[in-house]
Amino acid sequence: MTFRTPALALGLLAAATAASGTAQDQSTQGVQDELVMTLNDGADDPDALTFDWPMLSIGTGQYEAGPTGVTVIRFGRKVHGAVDVRGGGPGTVNAPYLDLGYVQPELDAVVLAGGSWYGLEAVTAVNTAMKDDGYRGGHWNNVGLAVGSIIYDFGGRRLNEIYPDKRLAQAAYRAARPGVFPVGPYGAGRSAMTGGLFGCNARSGQGAAFRQIGEVKIAVFTVVNALGVVTDRDGKVVACHAGSGWPEDLAAHELLNASPASLRPDWDGERAAEPERKNTTISLVVTNRSMSSAELKRLAVQVHTSMARGIQPFATELDGDVLYAVSTGEVESGPGDGLVTAEIGAVASELMWDAILSSVPEQPSAPSPRQARDTTPDLQSFVGTYRFSPLASLEVTAEGGRLFGQATGERDIFAIRKGEPVELQPSGPSQFVIPGRYPFSVRFEGDKIVVNPGRWQQVGMRP
């Protein structure tokens, strides 16, 4: 069941914090409890992956006011799992348990979430939901087991610190359904980004792919929030807000060969946003082929290693890359089945590259500034201080027939930096832009300001 968030709800955090003042600055839990959630958004999109595998059910939940979210993959019964950790800053719950290699199947669900370490609450929330719903209990052989990992989706990509919490995770778990996985900026990938190492700062999301060979089914799922760039099979960078002096048909090896110069924000002589220094790609490969713990571990290592082709560089000290491998055990292995673990791993590795590419959404853009200003409305109607969260406020002033913005909170408002008033150039009756490397526009709607209207918009309120 899908609950779509009204546009007004996008300003909930700003409105609540503006009304409650200092007390709200100390805690956002009250705001979290009031956030409108969206469940299984994107499942009806034509790009969503659809597949026939009743053993797997997928549920996604999002707080559009973040935006941030969670993705839950449930299994129809307890299954075997393994994990491979590559990144230098992973965030996981219960993952080390899978490395113990017990012979009995124990895993119920894999949870992927935004919100950095705060989002790990989503993993334990799914576990308690199984207990609260009576699906699992307290007997030693019926205790629920969910494992999961998080991505970092705070920092410069949004102006608040909303995270996917227990309420959202349990709703996503209960909304899970088989056969469909939304790709792009949904679920845990709602505010994912890639290419921060080079200042690309491209929007990303979650991806998936599926293949069946005879009776053997293989599915892969990933949330791509990498420090490196997503690379296609021709070696080209798939998404990047490139600098003005960069090659038109940018190849990943051109960025890598130019390092360390290409790692500097001013490499092309144009000031870029400071790169995000906390990133992660979290992934899952599932097969119905029966596998031992040792085989699953090799599968995890093989597929995880292959991902360095589609993300460059991969598994840096600033990434928290984790991959889970799961066998549902529906098809028994044997000498005559024609698929050994390495061959399943080869298929899954190509599928994972497909999944990485499917995670990349259409990139945001901004309109061009308008030359004539004679139809611009009364600028004084836009003047005021707009609050996005306890961390971020924007002061708008008018002078000499021009509009200016200045960040006055703890955080920059993207292209509007603290202590640096910048002109907002008109592009429409109530829309203004700041030209530059990264798309930036604002739209005024009464006492509301919408920054970068669209899929990743941030909403501020004027008292």
Choosing from 5, 17, 280, 341, which is the catalytic residue? 280
Helices (H), 21-146: 22-26, 29-34, 95-98, 121-132
pLDDT computed for residue 260 by the predictor = 86
Query: How far does Cα 385 stand from its chain's mean position?
Result: 30
- Three-state SS at 213: strand
Residue 93 CB contacts under 8 Å (≥ 6 apart), including other chains:
111, 120, 123, 124, 146, 147, 148, 149
Confidence of residue 15 (pLDDT cuts 50, 70, 90): very low
> Cα–Cα distance between 172 and 111 in angstroms, integer?
10
Confidence of residue 14 (pLDDT cuts 50, 70, 90): very low
Q: pLDDT tens across 254-309, in order?
A: 999 988 888 776 676 655 556 567 899 999 999 999 999 999 999 999 999 999 99
Query: Average pLDDT for residues 143-167, to the nearest whole number?
Result: 96
Does the structure show a pLDDT above 60 at 98? Answer: yes
17 is catalytic: no
Q: Which residues is 362 bridged to in the sheet?
A: none
> Cα–Cα distance between 211 and 53 in angstroms, integer?
11
Q: pLDDT tens across 326-359, in order?
A: 999 999 865 555 678 999 999 999 999 999 999 9
Does the structure show a pLDDT above 90 at 403? Answer: yes
Query: What domains are there in the chain, each with its CATH number?
Result: 29-359 (3.60.70.12), 379-461 (2.40.128)
Does the structure show a pLDDT above 80 at 4? Answer: no
CA triple 400-406-410, angle to 5 deg: 165
Torsion sign, CA atoms 29, 39, 193, 435: negative
How many CB atoms are located within 10 Å of the residue 2 CB?
12
> Cα–Cα distance between 333 and 286 in angstroms, integer?
15
Confidence of residue 375 (pLDDT cuts 50, 70, 90): low
Q: Are 192 and 151 in contact (CB under 8 A)?
A: yes
Q: How far apart, in Å, do the first and last CA atoms of the chain sit?
A: 35
Query: What does the block give as tokens for 310?
Result: 């589609």
For the entire predicted model, the pTM comes to: 0.92
Query: What does the block give as tokens for 59?
Result: 């549920």
More confident site: 439 or 244: 439
Does the structure show a pLDDT above 70 at 410? Answer: yes
Q: Which residues is 61 bridged to in the sheet?
A: 39, 70
pLDDT computed for residue 374 by the predictor = 53
Q: Which residues is 74 bridged to in the sheet?
A: 57, 109
pLDDT computed for residue 11 by the predictor = 44
Q: Are 320 and 280 in contact (CB under 8 A)?
A: yes
Q: pLDDT tens across 29-70, in order?
A: 667 889 999 999 999 999 999 999 999 999 999 999 999 999
- Name the residue among 241, 243, 325 with its Cα closest to residue 282: 325
Amino acid letter for position 379: L
- Name the residue among 180, 185, 183, 188 with its Cα closest to residue 150: 188
Does the structure show a pLDDT above 60 at 221? Answer: yes
> Cα–Cα distance between 448 and 361 in angstroms, integer?
27
The DSSP element (H or E) to which 329 belongs, if any, is strand 322-331
